[in-house]
Structure 1
């Protein structure tokens, strides 16, 4: 029986980079964002609830949800974000749980969940890792990566729990203020401890 390891961070903190590296190393990583995309597909329960609430204005011509249009609404209004989360989080949790139960018998399972602490999912983990960067680095990376203005970047970052807070609540912190190589070195050290039952 493996360990359930929560992996979290913030937008542009390097969580996906860490997640992909763990997959390359042969670990099972269940990515909440992938499940979130899946439940937005036409025919899914959450899809219908979202359209009923937010209206057809968030649909593309092919009836798929325009994530950018939806994002524009919810990242500028916390009550709308809360509403969206009510539709999506239970479905994501259900699908992830099914896969987790299947994989945990054979190996460690990493749960890549941006809102791990916010949704109290850390309680179900044996260990929690936060991929950390400074607030300034987060803004800069987000502006470069997504072409956001500084205000847009700050509004996205500030809609999440701060990385400083997540850092305090975690068992392990990967500091990603340096290079990708430095990040991977920390991941390798963690894996070594994990495989030798030192953690």
Structure 2
């Protein structure tokens, strides 16, 4: 099963996108619809709302007057938090029930308008944000819902910003243009990314990667991708994670690298590493089989766990290392030294390009060929760490 978080601002066209995903075969769960269901007449949810806000939030038939309630909570953070404390747990339980009923091979798309505002993005291995520029949203809502332009702009201002949504978006779908263009984009996304992602997760296999090493030019999006993935693995690992870091070359701004985000989770021991790795499908990562280890500078092997991406559109290696292994400290030391010393980074980039040009038959061979340079750099980095007082 793959769970997809779908969100977007008012008037962006999220419902249109949800409808197309439903046609393509997704199991659609609408948080707004559930939020209405859990406060229908006769429910415990409605009783709790009336107890908190009074009978004035009911209409003549005894149903919830959502407009009246909305006016009470719209500009009052305290009252809105009180409402959320009632409704959100009820919605969450119903959502989880529907997810369980969807089956193990489902693509479950959860339509959640306030996904960003409520900090829910790390709960989903894939987040799809539907966007439209503000003027388009205003024009749509004035024409389709009869809202005033000033009311629309006030509602837009009360929601998450575009920057907030971009920060959590694995897919940023611009729906400002013709509907047919959006449908075409969605169809490609479904067949090329979503369906393979779900199949890989269910089978427990890593998404395919290039057979040979390819060095890419520095990409600022690497840091954003790493941040989103780190939030997901931290949510899954919970208190078992002593720390989660973006490591490797993609963590060094301006450094050429393979287009693979490396994350590191430090845990108490190897047994915990195994447990955490086994739970990472909830973050879109699958535990790699067999034994994995790091070879220290002294030649000693240190066991670790490794989980990799099921998502065919974002390569990730997640190294889960026991606290006793020196490898986690070395990974951070090398990263920070290269961040602080651009000349060393340029030297490393030149080495990687030379090695990649030789056409190594596997990534493991390429990695082994870098070992002597990395060990020498770590020795220099040790001296730098003492000089500047570096700590991991």
Matches within 5 A, 1:123-134: 123-134=122-133
Between the aligned partners of 1:124 and 1:38, the Cα distance in structure 2 is: 23
Aligned CA distance change for structure 1 residues 145 and 84 (closer, same or farther; 3 Å): farther
Between the aligned partners of 1:10 and 1:53, the Cα distance in structure 2 is: 28
Between the aligned partners of 2:70 and 2:79, the Cα distance in structure 1 is: 10
- The aligned residue for residue 10 of structure 1 is 9
Between the aligned partners of 2:12 and 2:78, the Cα distance in structure 1 is: 25
Aligned CA distance change for structure 1 residues 139 and 79 (closer, same or farther; 3 Å): farther
Matches within 5 A, 1:164-175: 164-175=163-174
CA shift, 1:108, in A, is 1.1
CA shift, 1:147, in A, is 1.7
Matches within 5 A, 1:36-75: 36-75=35-74
- The aligned residue for residue 113 of structure 1 is 112
Between the aligned partners of 1:80 and 1:99, the Cα distance in structure 2 is: 29
> Which stretches in structure 2 are left out of the alignment for 5+ residues?
198-311, 314-392
Matches within 5 A, 1:16-165: 16-165=15-164
Deviations 1:85-113 (A, max 9, x none): 12111110111011112214121111111
CA shift, 1:72, in A, is 2.2
Moved more, 134-143 or 2-11: 134-143
Instruction: State the Cα RMSD in Å.
Output: 1.6
CA shift, 1:119, in A, is 2.1
- Pairs aligned (count): 198
Between the aligned partners of 2:61 and 2:11, the Cα distance in structure 1 is: 30
Q: Residue 82 of structure 1: SS of its match in structure 2?
A: helix
CA shift, 1:40, in A, is 1.4
Between the aligned partners of 1:97 and 1:119, the Cα distance in structure 2 is: 17
Moved more, 85-94 or 40-49: 40-49
Contact 1:5 1:110 in 2 (8 A): yes
CA shift, 1:52, in A, is 1.4
Contact 2:116 2:164 in 1 (8 A): no
Q: Where is the strand percentage greater, Structure 1 or Structure 2?
A: 2
CA shift, 1:189, in A, is 1.0
Moved more, 115-124 or 171-180: 115-124
CA shift, 1:142, in A, is 2.2
Deviations 1:51-88 (A, max 9, x none): 11221112111100111222222223333222221211
Contact 1:132 1:174 in 2 (8 A): yes
Aligned CA distance change for structure 1 residues 184 and 158 (closer, same or farther; 3 Å): same
> Which stretches in structure 1 are left out of the alignment for 5+ residues?
none
Q: Which has the higher contact order (CA 8 A, sep 6+)?
A: 1
CA shift, 1:144, in A, is 2.2
Q: Residue 10 of structure 2: SS of its match in structure 1?
A: coil
Normalising by structure 1, we get a TM-score of: 0.92
Deviations 1:120-156 (A, max 9, x none): 2222211000001112222222222222222211222
Moved more, 100-109 or 20-29: 100-109
Normalising by structure 2, we get a TM-score of: 0.48
Moved more, 31-40 or 102-111: 102-111
Q: Residue 69 of structure 2: SS of its match in structure 1?
A: helix
Between the aligned partners of 1:99 and 1:160, the Cα distance in structure 2 is: 27
